[in-house]
Amino acid sequence: TQLLEQSPQFLSIQEGENLTVYCNSSSVFSSLQWYRQEPGEGPVLLVTVVTGGEVKKLKRLTFQFGDARKDSSLHITAAQPGDTGLYLCAGVPNNAGNMLTFGGGTRLMVKP
């Protein structure tokens, strides 16, 4: 069992649809990050959330950190084919220094 559980694992949708990806844990995290990884490349940081209840927006992407800092969600509005990729959440458990723990990822495909 992973410390960070992501759901769904796979998601295939049509262009224009909305979607939400979840990242859950029973542990408290100092911060949570979301990365996007495209084929043949390394993960690229999208956002870091630090405060419980925090909401951050990045164009059509909305990120939320749970009040108890145990979970996070990523919502994409009007998905586009360019959003296709592997979305990874990662966090630093309390008192774990700066070692990131990664979730298993959500593989998103947006069809034109």
Partner 1 sequence: DAGVIQSPRHEVTEMGQEVTLRCKPISGHNSLFWYRQTMMRGLELLIYFNNNVPIDDSGMPEDRFSAKMPNASFSTLKIQPSEPRDSAVYFCASSSSGVVQYFGPGTRLTVT
Interface with partner 1 (CB under 8 A): 2, 31, 33, 40-45, 48, 88, 92, 97-105
Smallest gap from Cβ 84 to partner 1, in A, equals: 17
CA distance readout (Å), 106 to 7, 38, 51, 52, 89: 7, 12, 23, 23, 9
CA distance readout (Å), 20 to 60, 83, 100: 12, 13, 23
Q: Which is nearer to partner 1, 19 or 92 (CB)?
A: 92
Smallest gap from Cβ 78 to partner 1, in A, equals: 28
Q: Which is nearer to partner 1, 78 or 87 (CB)?
A: 87
Inter-residue contact 71 to 22 (CB < 8 Å): yes
Q: Which is nearer to partner 1, 7 or 101 (CB)?
A: 101
